[in-house]
Chains A and B, each alone.
Chain A
């Protein structure tokens, strides 16, 4: 494919994202940007940089570290923080496990993805955050398609899909009662392709695992899982070397790889245009049940 034929990023999405970032800074006392090291949260950091230039980003980044991260993601995170001068807060799922607030899952599908909700809610309480900016997109999953840009959560971080505030024109109402907080999604209207196009046009750096590389994997449920010490395997699951890339950067225990030789953004975009599998289809945690996402969101998951 000729690279000149790649789709153009619709700039209105950036205008909207910057607008939302500024509304957050203006309407809330203690906002925070939830940073996972993934491409969506990297996009958020870029939007925040643009929204407040030449000032600094007026809120910290919060990383909930499951302890099962790809080392490349952590390396990337620290580099980005150095370059942008943003403040970084890290809270660890391991601490929630050690303090007995959550229990580690067992079995071959054991993951810390669900546990991180508890650590997140604790961090919100610890720092009294009233607004948490996240990189969720409505195209990711059916339950997300209905979520507002400003999504009010109660004391327990719960979301009630039947009691959402209407959002009219571009007016955002972030007024809340004590104890409530608001989840904010500036890239709600972006698709996976939009994010990749933005990364390409803005020349944003992303963790190396998004690009094709050789890695030890095992095959399970017709997917390629990254082999690591964190993954519980059966004797039949023999790791082998494969050229792969990741479409999302979740935990090493719940993020499947796709076989790919795309080692540049352009190649990735071309693969998405011919996509055979949707992004969240590579998230093992979503497969647990058809209504998995909605259930987890009601409980406070991002």
Chain B
């Protein structure tokens, strides 16, 4: 059984919580007592039907405002797959949450209200799927029941969306349009009767059939070292294992490998998954690697297969999303964390800001504020071992940490 991670985004009233509640409800992922609780709450609110959105709306503050304010993680599963939804807010102040929720997603669901079509927020949501290079995007045109399940309306919104792209499509990103009604469960877990004109997959069918493994193992082999295990015990007096999670590619026993930054070479002796030696470790697997030679390698360093060298860079260009209320200005120092590697870094230049409402580029920015996205140049005190995000997103992102507050203040992708 595998896991599919989904990011959901939508405007406040697009019915996102209802859509998620519907997915949970129809996959039998809601227990009886929770169902009874939302039935009671729905009656208290004077509603005729059970409000499935109440399954996911959590915090006290939200109840006051009637909106979702933070990243919430929601789970449902089918016999094939476990699904993790990172549900993120659609309104502007919280772009940082959306990027947080979407950073690990393989699929983004963008919701559009069938009555309103494309709105400003649609631009922002879609921009983030591009920035993060999310491989699959499902554009759900919701509330079809309120436009009489009109095929024309669906087609016209789909065309509007294509116009929005205006040739900016990522070649590796697949976009699917699905007309749905979350309220009535049309095209969610079964084909809609009301919309027999639609021949594509219903939402759950689409999710069940996404193949996301393909390709990840063909990326260059990257093993960031997290922790060195040296038990010095009677049973393992000389054991020296390098623990980490394979970022991308595959490692096998017998592979020739190079350690960065020492540039020393060795051969993989064993790969362990707990106490059992295994033949290989794939992207995403936590493993312990032992080498044939004693070489210089510790936390923050990186092991790569000799055939797939990585760049050791101290000067990099990045696109950054700013997450802190104090804006980013050129000349400031931060701690840059790339995987497990933390280095001192100086932001040397701000080149531009992207207006994600209309994708215009504004040159000569003085500062990048909270929730803004821009281009920057960074100089680091020590090298990082990164790929370009577009080539390998599993080794091309970093965060910036403010050394005063210790907060994570920015997230960047190497361009």
**Residue positions of A touching B, CB distance < 8 A:** 7-10, 12-16, 18-19, 22-23, 25-26, 49-56, 138-139, 142-143, 145-146, 161-162, 164-171, 173, 175-177, 188-189, 191, 193-194, 275-278, 281, 291, 294
Contact = CB atoms under 8 A, between A and B. Distances in A.
Interface stretch (B55-63, B122-130, B176-184): B55-63
A173 B339 CA distance: 10
Contacts of B233: 54-56
B103 interface: yes
Contact of B100 (A8, A166, A277): A166
Contacts of A7: 1, 77, 79
B31 A189 contact: no
Given A145-B74, A168-B103, A173-B401, A19 B1 contact: no
B77 to A, nearest CB: 7
22 contacts: A8-B1, A10-B1, A15-B284, A18-B245, A22-B227, A53-B272, A53-B274, A55-B231, A55-B233, A56-B233, A138-B75, A146-B70, A162-B69, A162-B70, A166-B411, A173-B337, A173-B399, A173-B401, A175-B406, A176-B406, A189-B84, A276-B31
B212 to A, nearest CB: 12
A12 to B, nearest CB: 5
B328 interface: no
B197 interface: no
Contacts of A167: 100, 408
A189 B71 CA distance: 13
A145 B338 CA distance: 27
A50 B276 CA distance: 10
- From A53, A166, A194, name the one whose CB has the most chain B CB atoms within 10 angstroms: A166
Nearest to B33: A281
Interface residues of B, number: 65
Interface stretch (B137-145, B235-243, B304-312): B235-243
Interface in B237-266: 239, 241, 243-245
B376 interface: no
A232 to B, nearest CB: 25
A143 to B, nearest CB: 6
A23 B34 contact: no
Contacts of A291: 60
Contacts of A55: 229-231, 233, 236
A165 B299 CA distance: 23
Interface string B44-83: 0000000000001111110000000111111101010010
Given A15-B284, A19-B286, A189-B75, A10 B82 contact: yes
B97 A26 contact: no
A26 B408 contact: no
A74 B285 CA distance: 34
Given A19-B286, A22-B227, A173-B401, A51 B337 contact: no
Contacts of A166: 96-97, 99-100, 323, 408, 411
A86 to B, nearest CB: 14
Contacts of A146: 58-59, 70-73
Given A168-B397, A168-B399, A168-B408, A145 B99 contact: no
Contacts of B340: 23, 26
Nearest to A9: B1
B172 interface: no
Contacts of A54: 229, 231, 233, 235-236, 239, 241, 275
Contacts of B288: 53
B211 interface: no
B155 interface: no
B337 to A, nearest CB: 6
Nearest to A137: B75
Contacts of A281: 31, 33-34
A38 B227 CA distance: 28
B243 A51 contact: yes
B159 interface: no
Contacts of A164: 70
Contacts of B70: 146, 161-162, 164
Residue from the set A51, A143, A194 with the largest chain B CB neighbour count within 10 Å:
A51
Contact of B60 (A18, A171, A294): A294
Given A52-B229, A166-B97, 11 more contacts: A15-B286, A16-B286, A51-B243, A53-B229, A56-B231, A142-B58, A168-B103, A168-B399, A173-B401, A188-B73, A291-B60
B271 to A, nearest CB: 13
A25 B299 CA distance: 11
Contacts of B56: 142, 145
Given A18-B286, A175-B406, A145 B2 contact: no
B388 interface: no
A112 to B, nearest CB: 25
B408 A173 contact: yes
Contacts of B275: 53-54
B286 A171 contact: no
A191 B77 CA distance: 10
B217 interface: no
B245 A15 contact: yes
